[in-house]
C-alpha cells in the first residue's frame, strides 16, 4: 500500500541519492504528442526505444504508456521492458516523475513535486498538464511506494544532487516567475533541505542558451560522483554559451561542497551549434505555446546523459564532437560501459536522455 506522508524526507531520515548509486530500475514515458514530436512521434518512439534498449541491458526499465499507445509500444520495445498503463501529457519523465529518496535501512519513497509545464500561465509549454501533474502519484501508487507531496513547483531536471548533502541548480530556472514567484531563494533552499536532505547549494546563473525549460541544470552539468562534475564547455567567444559556462565554473570554484571538498570539474565539449531544419520543423503540428521553427537553435548538450548500473548512456549529437565527448565520459567513468545513442530526435522535442529517464534507487 502506498501512503501520502505529512512529514518530510529529512525529518524521517531519508535523502535523495546520487545518480551514481545503485539502481533497481529506470522509469520512462512513451512519446506521442504530435505538436512536440515530428511525424506523429514516430522518429521519437524509435529514439526512446533505442534508449530503453541500452538501459535494459543492465537495469530494468518500466515504461509508462497511454492505453492508445500500449500495443504500439509493446511491438517496438524489447520484451524485458515492463509497460505501465499510466498516461501523461508529454514524456519527460525526469520532470514529471517522482524524485526518489532512500534511508539507511533500504526503504525507498518518492517526492511528488507540483508541475506546471515549465512555467504555467507565465510561459508554460502547454495549457493542460493534468496528466503530467498526476503521474508521480499514480506511479508511486502502482508500485506501492510511499509519497511525499512537496509544496513546490519543480522539475527533476532542475536539480542535481551528490547524495552527500550537495545540490546544484540554476537561478534561471528555480527563481523564474513561472515556478514559485511567492518564494525567494532562501525559501526554496529551505524546502529543498527538507525534501532532498541537502545542506549546500551551488546556484549556477544560467543554463544552456535557448533551453525552453528555463535553463535546467541537467542540460549544462552532471554530477559524476561526490566532489566531481562534468560541465558543458564552449571555446567560441562569439557563442553565448562561452560566458554562460565560464560564469558556471566561477560558481563551482567559489566554495566547497557539503563534505568540504573542492569540486573537480571536467569540461564536456558543446556540440554544434545545432539548428532545426525546415524538414524537421514541417513534421511538427502547430500549437500556440510550443514554437518549432526552421533555423531555431537547439539546446544540445552532452551533459544530458544517464548514469545507470554499469552503463553511461549519452546522446550522439554532432559527428565533430561525439568522439571527444565519449572519450571524456570513458575517462570519468572507468567502471562503466559508455554507450552512445543518436539523440537528435529527442533534442528536437526539447531535451535529451537524462530528461526522458528517472532512476529508482536500489
User: Which residues are part of the catalytic machinery?
Assistant: 355
Question: What 3-state class would DSSP assign to 94?
Answer: helix
Residue 284, SS3 per DSSP: coil
3-state secondary structure of 216: coil
Residues 198/12, Cβ–Cβ less than 8 Å: no
Cα–Cα distance measured from residue 122 to residue 118, given in angstroms and rounded to the nearest whole number: 9
23 within 8 A of 100, measured Cβ to Cβ: no
CA 26 to CA 9: how far, in whole Å? 21
346, containing H or E segment: helix 344-348
Residue indicated by cell numbers 545503485: 22
Give the separation between CA 33 and CA 126, rounded to whole angstroms. 11
Coil, helix or strand for 342?
strand
Task: Identify each DSSP E strand in 234-347 by its residue range.
Answer: 264-269, 274-275, 297-298, 306-308, 311-316, 337-342
Say how far apart CA 355 and CA 180 lie, in whole Å: 21
Q: What is the DSSP letter of 90?
A: S
Q: Which residues contact 229 (CB under 8 A, 6 or more apart)?
A: 168, 221, 222, 223, 252, 263, 264, 265, 266
Q: Cα–Cα distance between 282 and 4 in angstroms, integer?
A: 44
Look up residue 157 and give its DSSP letter. G
Closest CA relative to residue 19, chosen from 169, 223, 216 = 223
Q: Which residues pair with 23 in a beta bridge?
A: 361
Name, in order, each residue with C-beta under 8 angstroms of 25's C-beta and a sequence gap of 6 or more: 59, 60, 61, 62, 359, 360
Say which residues have a Cβ less than 8 Å from residue 181's Cβ, sequence separation at least 6. none
Amino acid at each position: 500500500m502506498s501512503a501520502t506522508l505529512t512529514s518530510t524526507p529529512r525529518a524521517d531520515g531519508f535523502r535523495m541519492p546520487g545518480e551514481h548509486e545503485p539502481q533497481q530500475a529506470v522509469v520512462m514515458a512513451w512519446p506521442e504528442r504530435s505538436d512536440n514530436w515530428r511525424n506523429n512521434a514516430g522518429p521519437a518512439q524509435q529514439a526512446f526505444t533505442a534508449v530503453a534498449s541500452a538501459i535494459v541491458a543492465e537495469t530494468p526499465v518500466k515504461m509508462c504508456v497511454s492505453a492508445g499507445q500500449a500495443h504500439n509500444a509493446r511491438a517496438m520495445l524489447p520484451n524485458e521492458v515492463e509497460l505501465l498503463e499510466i498516461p501523461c501529457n508529454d514524456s519527460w519523465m525526469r520532470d514529471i516523475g517522482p524524485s526518489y529518496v532512500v534511508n539507511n535501512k533500504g526503504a525507498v519513497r518518492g517526492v511528488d513535486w507540483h508541475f506546471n509545464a515549465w512555467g504555467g500561465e507565465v510561459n508554460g509549454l502547454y495549457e493542460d498538464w493534468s496528466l503530467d501533474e498526476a503521474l508521480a502519484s499514480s506511479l508511486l501508487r502502482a508500485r506501492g511506494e510511499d509519497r511525499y507531496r512537496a509544496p513546490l513547483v519543480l522539475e527533476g531536471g532542475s536539480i542535481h544532487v551528490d547524495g552527500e548533502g550537495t545540490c546544484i541548480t540554476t537561478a534561471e530556472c528555480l527563481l523564474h516567475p513561472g515556478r514559485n514567484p511567492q518564494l525567494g531563494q532562501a525559501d526554496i533552499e529551505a524546502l529543498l533541505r527538507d525534501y532532498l536532505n541537502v545542506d549546500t547549494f551551488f546556484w549556477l546563473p544560467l543554463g544552456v542558451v535557448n533551453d525552453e525549460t528555463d535553463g535546467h541544470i541537467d542540460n549544462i552539468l552532471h554530477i559524476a560522483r561526490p566532489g566531481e562534475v562534468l560541465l558543458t564547455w564552449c571555446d567560441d567567444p562569439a557563442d553565448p554559451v562561452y560566458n554562460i559556462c565560464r560564469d558556471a565554473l566561477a560558481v563551482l570554484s567559489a566554495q566547497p561542497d557539503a563534505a568540504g571538498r573542492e569540486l573537480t570539474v571536467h569540461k564536456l565539449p558543446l556540440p554544434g551549434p545545432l539548428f532545426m531544419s525546415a524538414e524537421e520543423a514541417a513534421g511538427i503540428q502547430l500549437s500556440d505555446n510550443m514554437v518549432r521553427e526552421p533555423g531555431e537553435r537547439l539546446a544540445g548538450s552532452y551533459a544530458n546523459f544517464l548514469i545507470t548500473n554499469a552503463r553511461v548512456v549519452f546522446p550522439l549529437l554532432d559527428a565533430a564532437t561525439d568522439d571527444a565527448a565519449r572519450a571524456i565520459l570513458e575517462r570519468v567513468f572507468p567502471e562503466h560501459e559508455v554507450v552512445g545513442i543518436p539523440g537528435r530526435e529527442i533534442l528536437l522535442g526539447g531535451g535529451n536522455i537524462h530528461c526522458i529517464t528517472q532512476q529508482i534507487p536500489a
